[in-house]
Structure formats: structure tokens, C-alpha cells
Chain A
Amino acid sequence: MTILDVTNPVEPFLRTDRMPHIWCPGCGIGTTVNCFARALIESKIDLQSLALVSGIGCTGRVAGYVKLDSFHTTHGRAIPFATGLKLANPKLNVIVYSGDGDLSAIGGNHLIHAARRNIDLKVICVNNLIYAMTGGQTAPTTPGHAITSTSPYGTCEPAFNLPHLVEAAGAVYVARWTTFHVKQLARSIGEAFQKKGFSFIEVISPCPTLYQRRNKLGDGLDTMKYYKEKSKVKHGAPTSEVGLTMTGEIIVGKFVDRDRPDYQSLLHAQMVESLGESYVEPSETVCSCS
């Protein structure tokens, strides 16, 4: 029967020998990976040119499940690792795939500096509003009043509005979607591949096990329904106005799409200007094995 010949189109992008994955039922991380794989299919990008770098966390485990050159680094340091990878081999398309805590708390300094330098990285930030891997503690993204294991009476700290942060720091492409917006997310990832420079895609994603449950917000499916109901697509929305609350509206869309020379172009231009003929392109000699 023909039905037996077909396989899931994302299969070639996954380490199927490592399935099933560790993520909980109703966790949104797998959905984001699904969209990522579909963006790869659609963009027809050469898979050999891709490298994916993760930090530590539930989202950090993405690196272990994609069939790409993949690096599961240390907590918060995916971006600087990716920076070294990209600078040593500029031909690589380097994706950073990590959690909100990893990228904006312990790794927050690297996030803003990579955006400032405009390093050509595609950052996919799965924002489940919490530190999930360690059991549901407060993150810099946790909305006000939310209960977490380290804010048992509710979070009082103001949260980071990530699109606003990375736009201010210099990112050339900034979008936000939820795991409900699968087609839009896949399209955004595809668009980021077309950009040269620091691109940042935030994906709001359920963590039913630790965030939703503790805040009596239901399970993964309830959260997806909330995303469907309360999301408003506003392309080009001023990022200062897209902050999140626990149960309010979620502004999604492509917020920033601009051009600015990326780090390697700037470096090249500076060296050519200052050194002229005596400048030797790094890519000509960098490989250490011949």
C-alpha cells in the first residue's frame, strides 16, 4: 500500500535514533523544532552548511535531536560559542537554539553584545517564561505575579521584553510567534536565513509541567487555545509595546527587519582600509588540519 512508503518529512532532519525525546506531553519545544525543520525544507538550505548551538535547559536539548552538526554547550554560552564557530568558518549558517533563561539571564550579556556586533547568527529563543529544566524557577521573562518555585508568593520583578531588548541592542531581524503560529514561525525562520546579521525569533511556548500547572493555566492544549485567542498579529509593532503579561494579549509578528553591516563585513572593511594589500582573509588559512 502506498501509505506505507511515506515518511514524516521532518524525519531526515532529526536524530530518530534518539526518539522519543525527553520533552513532556504538551511541551511546545517539539513544535518549534517541527517548524524549524519545515523551514529548512522550504528554504532548501544546504544542511551541511548548518550548525546548531544550544545552551543548557529543556530547550538546550534541541541540539541533541537535530541531525546537523550540533553543539550542546554550557549554560548561557551558546552565543559566544556560536560566535567563534561563525568567525572561524564564515561559510557556516549558525543557528542558536536555546531557552529564555539561558539566553537572557546567565547569557544576557552575550545576547546584547552579539546583537551590538551584529554577528551573523540566527537565534531561536523558546520562551516558556520560566527555568524549566531545573524545576520551574523565576526567569527574567516570568510575568508579574506568576507563581514559580522560587517565587511562591508571586513574581514581583519586572520582566524583560526580549524583542525590545534585542532591537535596542542592534538586531536586524526580530520576530515573535507562539507555538500556535506554526506556519508564521516557519516562515520567519526562513526569512531569518535570508538575513545577514543578528536575527532573533522569540517563540512563546507552553511549559505545562512547571509554568502553566503551577499558575492554574491548564495544560499544553489550554495554553495553545489561549495563544490562539489572545494573540494579535501586529507586524512592525513598536517593540516597546509588546511586553507580556500572565493572561493578557500577546502581540506577535515581525517587529524589526532592517539592514546594517554584519560583524564580518565590518571587520573586513576595516582591515582592508587599514592594511590594504597586507590583509590576509581569515578563511584562507584558518583550517588547522592540513
Chain B
Amino acid sequence: MVERCKACGFCVEFCPTKVLALSSAFNSKGYHPPHVVAPEKCSGCDLCGMYCPDFAIYGQRLPVAKEAAPARTAAATNLEVARES
């Protein structure tokens, strides 16, 4: 998914809580995809997902494993998924 990013910056600009920033890393097409700089601020609102013209990112509220954890957790971006897989 990180490979789909064309670094337009829409997600970074319009994230209401400024969770994202364009990274200095390159994807294989030579673009700088965004990365999560403030995961704790992410509401999972998925605005980044709606804005992304390349279907490269999205936000989601994750179901949490521990009862104790707050229901609202960090966004999972495809970018992160891609990085880990």
C-alpha cells in the first residue's frame, strides 16, 4: 500500500488532529509516503482514507484486546501495515 502513495499530502493536511507527516523515506516510485507522528491523537475518523486519491491510507477504530484499554485507539494505516508485512 505504501507503494501506491504519490505523496500528494492530502492526508497530512486534512487530518483534523495532525497525526501524519510526510516522511523522508522513499517508496519504490520515489515518493515520500506519510508516516504516523502522533499515534495517540488519531481518532480513527478515516478522513485520511477518504481524501487519499491513491487508496494508500485509511484510518480505522481498532477493536482492542484488553478491556482496560480505551476504545479509541491509534489509526491503522495501510502504510504501517505495509511496512510491517
The contact sample of 15 A-B pairs, CB cut-off 8 A, is: A2-B62, A2-B63, A3-B81, A4-B85, A10-B55, A14-B55, A19-B55, A20-B29, A24-B6, A27-B53, A31-B10, A31-B50, A183-B50, A221-B8, A224-B51
Give chain B residues whose Cβ lies under 8 Å from the Cβ of A9.
Answer: 46, 49, 58, 60
* A34-B51 in contact (CB<8A): yes
Query: Is the C-beta of A29 less than 8 angstroms from some C-beta in chain B?
Result: yes
Looking across the interface, which residue of chain B has its beta carbon closest to that of A3?
Answer: B76
Give chain A residues whose Cβ lies under 8 Å from the Cβ of B13.
Answer: 221, 224-225
Minimum CB–CB distance for A282 against chain B, Å: 38
Minimum CB–CB distance for A274 against chain B, Å: 49
* B3-A20 in contact (CB<8A): yes
Minimum CB–CB distance for A114 against chain B, Å: 28
The complex places the Cα of A14 from the Cα of B54 at a distance, in Å, of 11
> Which residues of A, 1-32, contact B by the 8 Å Cβ criterion?
1-4, 6-11, 14, 19-21, 23-31
> Which residues of A, 147-188, contact B by the 8 Å Cβ criterion?
179-180, 182-183, 186
Minimum CB–CB distance for B30 against chain A, Å: 11
Give the number of A-B contacts (CB < 8 Å).
94
Query: Is the C-beta of A103 less than 8 angstroms from some C-beta in chain B?
Result: no
- Contact surface of B with A, Cβ cutoff 8 Å: 1, 3-4, 6-10, 13-14, 29, 31, 46-47, 49-55, 58, 60, 62-63, 65, 76, 78, 80-81, 84-85
Give chain B residues whose Cβ lies under 8 Å from the Cβ of A180.
Answer: 14
Minimum CB–CB distance for B82 against chain A, Å: 10
Known contacts A1-B84, A34-B51; is-contact A220 B58 (Cβ 8 Å): no
Looking across the interface, which residue of chain A has its beta carbon closest to that of B74?
Answer: A3
Query: Is the C-beta of A35 less than 8 angstroms from some C-beta in chain B?
Result: yes
Complex partner residue of B7 from A25, A28, A38, CB under 8 angstroms: A25
The complex places the Cα of A109 from the Cα of B62 at a distance, in Å, of 49
Give chain A residues whose Cβ lies under 8 Å from the Cβ of B62.
Answer: 2-3, 6
Looking across the interface, which residue of chain B has its beta carbon closest to that of A32?
Answer: B53
Minimum CB–CB distance for B36 against chain A, Å: 11
Known contacts A4-B81, A6-B60, A31-B10; is-contact A25 B50 (Cβ 8 Å): no
Q: How many residues of A contact B (CB 8 A)?
A: 37
Minimum CB–CB distance for A110 against chain B, Å: 28
Give chain A residues whose Cβ lies under 8 Å from the Cβ of B29.
Answer: 20
Known contacts A4-B81, A4-B85, A30-B55; is-contact A221 B49 (Cβ 8 Å): no
Minimum CB–CB distance for B80 against chain A, Å: 6
Known contacts A2-B65, A8-B1; is-contact A221 B50 (Cβ 8 Å): no
Q: Give the 3 A-B residue pairs with the shortest CB-CB distance, closest first.
A: A30-B53, A25-B6, A182-B50
The complex places the Cα of A182 from the Cα of B63 at a distance, in Å, of 25
The complex places the Cα of A20 from the Cα of B50 at a distance, in Å, of 17
Give chain B residues whose Cβ lies under 8 Å from the Cβ of A10.
Answer: 49, 55, 58
Give chain B residues whose Cβ lies under 8 Å from the Cβ of A183.
Answer: 47, 50
Complex partner residue of B84 from A3, A26, A27, A34, CB under 8 angstroms: A3
Looking across the interface, which residue of chain B has its beta carbon closest to that of A13?
Answer: B55
Give chain B residues whose Cβ lies under 8 Å from the Cβ of A2.
Answer: 62-63, 65
Give chain A residues whose Cβ lies under 8 Å from the Cβ of B7.
Answer: 25
The complex places the Cα of A21 from the Cα of B29 at a distance, in Å, of 13
> Which residues of A, 177-208, contact B by the 8 Å Cβ criterion?
179-180, 182-183, 186
Given contacts A23-B53, A30-B52, 4 further A-B contacts (CB under 8 A): A1-B84, A4-B85, A34-B50, A38-B50
Looking across the interface, which residue of chain B has its beta carbon closest to that of A219?
Answer: B8
